[in-house]
Amino acid sequence: MASPPPKSTKRKWDQPAPGEESAPSKVAKTDEGKSASEAAAAAAAIAAKIAAQFANGTLGGDHEEFTKDIDINDVRNRYLLTKGSTQEQIHDETGASVGTRGVWYPDRSKATEKDPPLYIHISAKTKEALDKAVAKIHELIALDMGSLVEKGDKTRERRKWPEEKLPVGLESIRNFNIRAKVVGPSGSFVKYIQSETSTRVQIKGIGSGFIDQETGQEEPVPLYIHITGPEEGQVARAKVLTEDLLLVVRQEHAKMQVVIHQQQMELHQAQAQYAAYSAMGV
């Protein structure tokens, strides 16, 4: 069993996954002597500038003035686009920063506003650098168009992604929902791991509720956690967090087993006493 993540010894499985904090919006400063109409005019000018940036597909940040997002969730060669070496090469050639955001969904209809489908985020200090990076991304997207895998052979394509399968290794006991304990309240534990590592984390197998699209049934194997992601490092990080989560769940499971055993012992003793009293009264 791997040790908890080195960056913190405190486990996070007893609380909901932290939400993403939005960046504070910039507020235009006005001189104290300006009239209300002048302040309103200044605010309108700033709003118009922001609107223009949105219209161009760009919006300035603190350090990068132009940004753009490109959805690659369903792109066949998305693995190439999410590789660190590829993104570094684009940066060297264009000067723009490129990063992977979101989560890969085999079925994008399951995406949420908080966890959007996989996409590439580009930021640059000039529009020229941004346009060059965008063109390069589209060039790489089209690169694989001449050698696409067969539509029915999606399994082979998916195996390009690094993956890990971690067995849960717990037997069902009364008053202990294993799946609910693993995923956390409203799925918060799994969502936390996904947001921390940009991976896809799913619980599969008997009792998981995960239905295979091809068979229409749960996979006929003991419960396990399946991790997939674009990079080996991301999957490795998700594995460490998942193992830590499973350690906590197994400890709770062991405590519940002790409680159930004690209850059974008390029940047997009560039954034995009742039988003895009944025999004495005959």
Pairing between strand 119-124 and 163-167? unpaired
164-192, pLDDT tens digit by residue? 999 998 888 888 888 888 988 888 899 99
DSSP 215: T
Task: Using the predicted structure, report yes or no on whether residue 242 has a pLDDT greater than 50.
Answer: yes
DSSP-assigned letters across all residues of 21-80: PPPPPP-----TTS-HHHHHHHHHHHHHHHHHHHHTT----SS-SEEEEEE-TT-TTHHH
Least confident of 47-56, 211-220, 235-244: 47-56
Give the chain's end-to-end CA distance (angstroms, integer): 58
Domain 52-147 architecture: 2-Layer Sandwich (3.30)
- How far, in Å, CA of 263 to CA of 261, rounded? 5
- How far, in Å, CA of 248 to CA of 238, rounded? 16
C-beta of residue 186 within 8 angstroms of C-beta of residue 215 = no
- How far, in Å, CA of 136 to CA of 87, rounded? 10
Give the start-end residues of each E strand in the chain. Answer: 66-71, 97-101, 119-124, 163-167, 200-204, 224-228
Tokens encoding 81: 């686009």
Q: Look at residue 122 in the predicted model and tell me its pLDDT.
A: 93
Name the residue with higher pLDDT: 277 or 14.
Answer: 277
How far from the centroid of its chain's Cα atoms is residue 110's Cα? Answer: 12
Query: What residues does each domain of the chain span?
Result: 52-147, 161-281
C-alpha count within 13 angstroms, C-beta hemisphere, residue 108: 11
Q: How confident is the model at residue 103 (pLDDT cuts 50, 70, 90)?
A: confident
- How far, in Å, CA of 181 to CA of 189, rounded? 9
Tokens encoding 171: 């037997």
132-171, pLDDT tens digit by residue? 999 988 888 887 444 444 444 444 444 568 899 999 988 8
224-240, pLDDT tens digit by residue? 999 998 888 889 999 99
pTM as predicted? 0.45
> Count of residues for the chain?
282
Residues sharing a CB contact under 8 Å with residue 73, sequence separation 6 or more, in sequence order: 102, 104, 105, 108, 111, 117, 118, 119
Domain 161-281 architecture: 2-Layer Sandwich (3.30)
- How far, in Å, CA of 282 to CA of 278, rounded? 7
DSSP-assigned letters across all residues of 88-109: HHHHHHHS-EEEEESB--SSGG
